[in-house]
Amino acid sequence: MRAAYQLLDIELEITPLPAKRALLETENGNTYDAELGRIKQAETLLTNFVRIPVILRDIGLVAITVRGLKNLSDHLGLVNLRDYRVASVRGILSSDTLLKDHNNILVDTTRQGLYMLLYRRMDVFVALDFMVQDLPKELKQHHYIIHEPPLSSAKIYHYLHKKHNDLAPALTRAMTKVLGKPIEGL
């Protein structure tokens, strides 16, 4: 994203916030001019923003266990999660939506979820695939099982505040150039 904004001579400042707080801060105030890394379903919450039609990346929501539980991938896995104690990271819209009818414990961080799984406080931890791909060294030794294929997948986009709507076409072109990805729908 920095490279795309640099092509437009715009200095980018990224402010990391917890997922749910970011949505609230972004929508309720004029503090932030963009939202980085949201699924299309976030548009209902980001009414003052326009989606830039370039896919940043595909994400998957995966089930993670430490014991040999079976059938916890793909759409069948979602049905089978009802039989287990499940946890997910608070404020991640895709997991909140997917697990709304499950007995889901919300945790604040991926690390917290993995430790709760390790200490058998839950049976399955559901997280975004990129959040668990590079586990910290102290957690790798515990033989976590990441079930594939993902329970669900989604595309991630960049959202720009409507007050900068005139910038959207140029930003779209810059993102396609930097990311090497086409404009969605073309």
Provide the whole-model pTM: 0.81
Residue 56: both structure tokens together: 């940043």
Contact 12, 1 (CB under 8 A): yes
**Chain centre distance of CA 94:** 7
Q: How far apart are CA 41 and CA 159, in angstroms?
A: 12
Domains of the chain with bracketed CATH? 2-57+154-179 (no CATH), 59-152 (3.40.190.10)
Q: What is the pLDDT along the chain (186 residues), one digit of tens a residue?
A: 999 999 999 998 888 877 777 777 777 766 788 888 888 888 888 888 999 999 999 999 999 998 778 889 888 888 889 889 999 998 888 888 889 888 899 998 899 999 999 999 999 999 999 888 877 677 777 888 889 999 999 999 999 999 999 999 999 999 999 999 989 875
DSSP string for 83-132: GS-EEEETT-HHHHHHTTTS-EEEESSHHHHHHHHHTTS-SEEEEEHHHH
